[in-house]
Structure 1
Amino acid sequence: MTTPQARLSRLLGSTSMARAYTLSVLGATFGSFAIEQMTSRVTFATIILILAVLGAAILFVRREELSLLRVAPTSLLMFLVLALLSLLWSTDRSDTLSAWVWLFGFAFLAITIGHIRDTLQTVRAIGDTLRVLLGLSLGVEILSGILLDVPIRFLAVEGNLAVGGPIQGLFGTRNMLGFIAVIALITFVIEWRTQSVAVPIAIPSIALAGFLALLSASPTVLVLAVVVGTATGALTIVRHTPVARRTIVQWMLGAVVVLTLGVAFLFRHPIIAWMGAGSDFSTRADLWNEILNFVALKPFQGWGWFGTWGRGEYPFSFINYRLDNHHESALNAFFDVLLQLGIAGFLLFVLLGGVALVRSWLVASARRSVVYAWTPLVLVTLAADSMFESFTLTGAGWFMLVLCALRAGQSRSWRESIDAANTGVIPTLGRLE
C-alpha cells in the first residue's frame, strides 16, 4: 500500500502534471493583462506565487533528473543578482524589490518548464495556448467592434475591427498583440512542419495569427516580419548546406547581416518615411536622447531595477515631465536596461540574449528536425522587438527570453562537456539527427 506522500510524489513527477502545469503557466503568462484587468494585480500575483511553489515542488520531485550545473545560464543568474543588488542604490527600494520579485518569478517559471518539457512539447504547449488566446482576442474584437459597436474599456479594447483596426485583443496594446501574433506564427508554422498538429488545425491557426498581426496595425509588425522572414531564409540555406562548407556560409551570412544593418542605418530616414512611422520614431528618438542624459549621471550601475515605469519613480517621472508624456518604458529594452542597471546590466543582457541566439542557431544548423529552428527564430523576434519596445524585460517577453536561453544552453554549453566527463556520456550535437 502506497503512502499519501508517495502518491503525491508520483503525481508531481508525472507527465500529465508536467503538461497541465506548462499549460497553466503559459495561460497565466500570456494572458496576464486580461487576468489583471478582470480581477486584480493581487490576484494575478497570487496565481504566479502558487505556480512558482508548485514548480518548486515538481523540480524537487524530479531532482535526480536535474544537473546543478545546467539549472540556468550563468548570464541569467548574474543579471538577476545585479538587479537585486541595485536595491543598494535604487531611488525606491520597495519598488525595486517588488519589480525584482516579478522578474525572478517569471524566470523561475520559465526555468521549471525548460526542465520538465522538451523543445517539441514546449512548442506544442505554446501553440495550444496562443491558439486559444488569439481566438478569444478575435471573439472579443468581434463582440466590441461589430456586434455591440462599443469599446470594452476594462480590457482596453477600442472596438475598431469594423474599420480595419488597429485592434488590441486581450493583450492591452496593438504592439503587444502584434508581438504575440508573430511568436504565434513562428510556433504554428513549426507545428505544421513537424506534423505535430493536423493540417485542418495548423492552417487556420497560421491564418488567424497572420490576420490579427495585420489588423493590429502595429508599426513593429512589418519590421518583425521582415527580420524573421530573412532569418528563416538564412537558416534554411545553412541547414541545406553540406557540413564541410557550413562554416564558410555562416560567416558569409554574418557579413551580409552586418552590411545590411549598416545600409539600413544609412538610409534609416527614407525607410522610416516609407513605413509611415516618422512620428513614432521621432517620439522614440526624443525619449532615448533624454534617457542618455540620465545614463550619463550613473553610467555603470544605473538608477535601480524597476521594470516598467508605471509607479512614477525618479528618474522616470522626471523624464516624462521633460517630454510632457506618459511613457511606461524606454520603448527599447536595451535603453531600459542601460538606464536601470547601467553598463554592467546592459552587457549582461546582451550576453544573455546573444549567447543564446548563437547557441540555438548552431544547434538548429546541425540538427535535422525543424523543431530546433523555433528557438533561434523566437530569439530573433525578441531581439528585433527589443529595438522598439521593452516587452523583453517583463511578463511574457522576459519569460520567453529565459525559456529560449535555457533551451539553448541545454544543448550547447560548457556545462555539457563537464556533464559528459562526469557521466561518461559523449555529447552528440555535432552529428545530424
Structure 2
Amino acid sequence: MTTPRARVSRLLESTAMARAYTLTVLGATFGSFAIEQMTSRVTFATIILLLAVLGAAILFVRREELSLLRVAPTSLLMFLALALVSLLWTTDRSDTLAAWVWLFGFAFLAITIGHIRDTLQTVRAIGDTLRVLLVLSLGVEILSGVLLDVPIKFLAIEGNLALGGPIQGLFGTRNMLGFVAVIALITFVIEWRTQSVVAPIAVPSIALAGFLALLSASPTVLVLAIAVGIGTGALTTVRHAPPARRTIVQWMLGIVVVVALSVALIFRHPIIAWMGAGSDFSTRADLWNKILDFVDLQPFQGWGWFGTWERGEYPFTFINYLLDNHHETALNAFFDVLLQLGIAGFLLFALLGGVALVRSWLVASVRRSVVYAWTPLVLVTLAVDSMFESFTLTGAGWFMLVLCALRAGQSRSWRESIDAANTGVIPTLGRSE
C-alpha cells in the first residue's frame, strides 16, 4: 500500500507539477505589479513565500538529481552574499534585509525552474505566460481607452490607446511594457522556429507583442529592438559559419561590436536627437552625475542594498531632493549597483551577466537547435535595458537574469571540460514531457 508521504513525493517530482509550478511562478513574477495593485504587498509577498517553500520541497524530492556544485553560478552566490553582508554598513538594516529577502526569493524561484525545466520547456512556459498577460494588457487598455474612455488609476493605466499611446498594460509603466514585449517577441519567434507552437498561434502572438511594444512609446524599445536585431544577425552568421572558421568569425564580430559602440559613443548626441529622447537622456545624465558624487563617498562597499528607492532612505532621498525629482531607481542597473554595493558589487553584477552571455553565446554558436539562441538574445536584451532602467535588479528582470545565468552555467561552465559544449548532451535536470 502506498503511503501518503510516497504519494506526495511522486506528485512533487512529477512532470505535471513541474509544469504547473513553472507557469504559476512566471505568472506571479511577470504579473507582480497587477497582483500587488489588486491585492496588497503583503499578499504578493505571501504568494512568493509559498512558491519558494513549494520549490524547496520539489528540489528536496529531486535531490538525487542535483549536484551541489551546479546549483547556482558562483558569481550569483557571491553577489547575494555581498548584498547580505551590506547589512553591516547600510543606513537602514531592516530595509536592507527586506530588500535582500526579495532579491533572494526571486533568485530561488529562478533556480528552481532552471533545475526542473529544460530550455525548450522554459521557453514554452514563458511564451504561454506572456501571451496571456499581453492579451489581458491589450484588453484592459481597450476597456480604459476605448470603451470607457477613463483611466484605471489603481492599475496606473492612463487610457491612451485611442490616442496611439503611450500605454502601460498590466505592467505599471510604458518602459516595463516595452521591455516585456521585447522579451515576448524573442520568445514567440523561438517558439515558432522550434515548431513548439503552430503558425496560427505564433504569428498573432508576434504581431501582438510588436503592436504593444510600438504603442508603449517607450524610448528604450527602439534601442532594444536594434540591439536584438544585431545580436540575432551576428548569432545567425556564427551559426552558419564553417566550424573551422567559426573562431575567426567570432573575433571579427567582436571587433565590429567594439567599433560600433565607440562610434555610438562619439556620436551619441546626434543619435539621441534622432531618437527624440533628448530630454529623457538629459534627466538620466543629471541623475547619474549626482549618483557618482555619492559613489565617491563610499566607493568600495556602497551604501547598502535597497533594490528600489521606494523606501525613501538616505542617500536616495537626498539625491531626489538635490534634483527636485522623485526617482525610484537610478534608471540604470549598473549605476544602481555601484551606488548600493560599490565597486565590488558592480564587478560581481557585470561578471554575472557577462559570463552568462559569453557561455550562452558559445553554446548557441555550436548547437543545431535554434532554442539555444533564446538565452543569449534575452541576455542581450537585459544588458542593453540595464543601461536605461534598473529592471534587472528586481522582480521579473532579476528573475530572468538569474534564470539565464543558471541556464548558461548548466550548458558551459568551468566545472566541465571545454569540449562539453560540442558533445551531444547539455546537463539538465528537466524531464521531457
Cross-structure match for 1:117: 117
Confirm or deny that 1:429 pairs with 2:421.
Answer: yes
Cross-structure match for 1:191: 191
For residue 428 of structure 1, report the CA deviation from its aligned partner. 4.3
For residue 416 of structure 1, report the CA deviation from its aligned partner. 2.6
Aligned length, in residue pairs? 425
Q: What is the alpha-carbon distance in structure 1 between the residues aligned to residue 245 and residue 149 of structure 2?
A: 59
Q: Could you tell me whether the CA contact under 8 Å between 1:360 and 1:376 is conserved in 2?
A: yes
Once the two structures are superposed, what CA deviation does each residue of 1:284-310 show, in whole Å capped at 9, x if it has no partner?
Answer: 000000000000000000000000000
SS in 2 for 1:416: coil
Q: What is the alpha-carbon distance in structure 2 between the residues aligned to residue 184 and residue 305 of structure 1?
A: 30
SS in 2 for 1:2: coil
Once the two structures are superposed, what CA deviation does each residue of 1:165-208 show, in whole Å capped at 9, x if it has no partner?
Answer: 00000000000000000000000000000000011000000000
Cross-structure match for 1:177: 177
Cross-structure match for 1:204: 204
Q: Could you tell me whether the CA contact under 8 Å between 1:366 and 1:431 is conserved in 2?
A: no
Cross-structure match for 1:79: 79
RMSD: 0.9
Once the two structures are superposed, what CA deviation does each residue of 1:222-260 show, in whole Å capped at 9, x if it has no partner?
Answer: 000000000000000000000000000000000000000
Cross-structure match for 1:320: 320
SS in 2 for 1:429: helix
Q: What is the alpha-carbon distance in structure 2 between the residues aligned to residue 59 and residue 289 of structure 1?
A: 45
**Structure 2: tracts of 5 or more residues without a match:** 426-433
Cross-structure match for 1:159: 159
Cross-structure match for 2:429: none
Q: What is the alpha-carbon distance in structure 2 between the residues aligned to residue 121 and residue 308 of structure 1?
A: 31
Residue type of the partner of 2:63?
R
Cross-structure match for 1:423: none
Q: What is the alpha-carbon distance in structure 2 between the residues aligned to residue 385 and residue 428 of structure 1?
A: 31
For residue 429 of structure 1, report the CA deviation from its aligned partner. 1.9
Q: What is the alpha-carbon distance in structure 2 between the residues aligned to residue 220 and residue 45 of structure 1?
A: 29
Q: What is the alpha-carbon distance in structure 2 between the residues aligned to residue 317 and residue 325 of structure 1?
A: 10
Q: How does 1:266-277 map to 2 (within 5 A)?
A: 266-277=266-277
Cross-structure match for 1:421: none
Q: What is the alpha-carbon distance in structure 2 between the residues aligned to residue 429 and residue 123 of structure 1?
A: 20
For residue 430 of structure 1, report the CA deviation from its aligned partner. 1.5
Once the two structures are superposed, what CA deviation does each residue of 1:96-138 show, in whole Å capped at 9, x if it has no partner?
Answer: 0000000000000000000000000000000000000000000
Q: How does 1:272-421 map to 2 (within 5 A)?
A: 272-417=272-417
Cross-structure match for 2:256: 256
Q: What is the alpha-carbon distance in structure 2 between the residues aligned to residue 431 and residue 296 of structure 1?
A: 48
Percent identity over paired residues? 88
Once the two structures are superposed, what CA deviation does each residue of 1:267-299 show, in whole Å capped at 9, x if it has no partner?
Answer: 000000000000000000000000000000000
Structure 1 runs of 4+ aligned residues shifted over 4 Å read none
Q: What is the alpha-carbon distance in structure 2 between the residues aligned to residue 69 and residue 88 of structure 1?
A: 28
Q: Could you tell me whether the CA contact under 8 Å between 1:141 and 1:161 is conserved in 2?
A: yes
For residue 432 of structure 1, report the CA deviation from its aligned partner. 7.2
Cross-structure match for 1:4: 4
The alignment's TM-score, normalised by the length of structure 1, stands at 0.97
Once the two structures are superposed, what CA deviation does each residue of 1:310-335 show, in whole Å capped at 9, x if it has no partner?
Answer: 01100000000000000000000000
Which structure would you say has the larger RCO, counting Cα contacts within 8 Å and 6 or more residues apart? Answer: 2
SS in 2 for 1:414: coil
Q: What is the alpha-carbon distance in structure 1 between the residues aligned to residue 222 and residue 257 of structure 2?
A: 18
SS in 2 for 1:389: coil
Cross-structure match for 1:243: 243
Q: Could you tell me whether the CA contact under 8 Å between 1:367 and 1:432 is conserved in 2?
A: no
Cross-structure match for 1:102: 102
Residue type of the partner of 1:306?
F
**Structure 1: tracts of 5 or more residues without a match:** 418-425
